[in-house]
């Protein structure tokens, strides 16, 4: 990170990681029928970052796919019962 990123990039990344850790750390997980707990988000932060970026990259790829269909004059097939939702809403 250090030698490739300028100081502003490092600060923005650290801010984003903090926001992600706060969001994931506030989620309550059911551990049994009678108890639930939050996790220490910093124990899983690398996995959370990978998951978050994986979904983001998949969504951007999906949008590119939709653009290509449009260029070809096609539309994505819509599953029965989901006609009221856009393809982007179905993805999410």
- Report DSSP letters for 35-54, one per residue: -EEE--GGGSHHHHHHHHHH
Q: How far apart are CA 65 and CA 70, in angstroms?
A: 9
- In this structure, the number of other CB atoms found within 10 A of the CB of residue 40 comes to 10
pTM for the model: 0.69
The widest CA-to-CA distance across the chain, in whole angstroms, is: 54
Q: Name 63's Cβ contacts closer than 8 Å, sequence gap at least 6.
A: 88
**pLDDT range class, residue 1, cuts 50, 70, 90:** low
Residue 2, pLDDT > 60, answer no
Mean pLDDT, range 73-90, rounded to an integer? 87
Residue 25, pLDDT > 90, answer no
Q: What pLDDT sits at residue 9?
A: 92
Spans of all domains in the chain:
7-91
- Residue ranges of alpha helices (H) inside the chain are 7-25, 45-71, 87-91
Residues facing 38 on adjacent strands = 28
**Over the stretch 28-78, which tens digit does the pLDDT of each residue have?**
878 788 888 888 888 889 999 999 999 999 999 999 999 999 999 998 888
């Amino acid at each position: 990170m250090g030698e490739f990123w300028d100081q502003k990039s490092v600060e923005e990344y650290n801010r984003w990681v903090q926001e992600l850790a706060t969001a994931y750390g506030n989620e309550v997980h059911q551990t049994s029928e009678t108890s639930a707990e939050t996790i220490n988000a910093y124990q899983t932060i690398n996995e959370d970052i990978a998951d978050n970026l994986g979904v983001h990259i998949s969504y951007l790829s999906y949008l590119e796919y939709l653009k290509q269909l449009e260029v070809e004059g096609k539309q994505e097939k819509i599953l029965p019962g989901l006609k009221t939702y856009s393809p982007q809403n179905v993805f999410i």
